[in-house]
Amino acid sequence: MSRRSNRTFLAFAAASLSLAALSGCVAYAPPPRAAVEVVAPVAPPPPRVEVVPPPSRPAEIVEWHPGHWHWDGRAYVWISGEYVERPHRAARWEPGHWVARPQGWVWVPGHWL
């Protein structure tokens, strides 16, 4: 291989690796950041009754995420429910919930199953 074609190959390889890294096609991923645990000193109020509107898109595509109480550091604030796009058709949403622990009430975030 000539010196020029060798440089061309190396430039192409470097560009390909850069493009793969930018598009997320790499084997390495940085470790996830630790989630900040939300702890409230008092129990949350009962959930609000929400009227669930009809979905604007087919149910195979979206799922209703019910509203919940959020602790803002001083008081509970209601976060209304919403439709969210499913990551895939079989995905099911496990809603977040509050759990009583010795240090207070801890929020366990919702997640897809």
β-strand partners of 84 = 63
Check: CB of residue 80 under 8 Å from CB of residue 59.
Answer: no
Of residues 12 and 51, the one with the higher pLDDT is 51
pTM: 0.65
Q: What is the 3-state secondary structure (H, E, C) of 15-60?
A: HHHHHHHHCCCCCCCCCCCCCCCCEECCCCCCCCCCCCCCCCCCCC
Question: What pLDDT is stored for residue 98 in this prediction?
Answer: 97
User: Cα separation of 88 and 13, whole Å?
Assistant: 34
Q: Find all residues with CB under 8 Å of 56, minimum gap 6, and list them.
A: 62, 83
Round the average pLDDT of the chain to a whole number and report it. 80
* pLDDT tens, residue by residue, 42-92: 999 999 999 999 999 998 899 999 999 999 999 999 999 999 999 998 999
Check: CB of residue 98 under 8 Å from CB of residue 69.
Answer: yes
